[in-house]
Amino acid sequence: MIAYEALSYTWGSAGLSEVITVNERRYSVTCNLYLALLKLRLQDEDQILWVDAIDIHQGDKMEQEHQVRKMGKIYLQAHQVLI
């Protein structure tokens, strides 16, 4: 199993105001998430983060429901949970 960190954060405003790039793919994220990612980013090593707003397709209600049921396991198996 690949070690990863799971991020649990306060959503704040639902407005998507920042853009990030993950594996050459662009995502619109909230300002709160953007600031959290900036703060957590490691400059000198690779890091794998599981973030619900990115890893769960937010426009697909069925996927959201499926993933929410798995979130307990996702957090339990994480190397570290960041709050």
pTM above 0.85, yes or no: no
Residue 80 has pLDDT above 90, yes or no: yes
Other beta carbons within 10 angstroms of residue 36's beta carbon come to: 20
23: left (phi over 0), alpha (psi -120 to 50) or beta: left
Residue 77 has pLDDT above 90, yes or no: yes
Per-residue pLDDT tens digits for 31-75? 888 999 999 989 899 899 998 877 777 678 888 788 888 889 999
What DSSP state is assigned to residue 32? H
Alpha-carbon torsion (60, 66, 70, 71), positive or negative = positive
pLDDT of 28 reads 87
Per-residue pLDDT tens digits for 9-19? 766 677 768 99
The answer to whether 56 touches 71, Cβ cutoff 8 Å, is: no
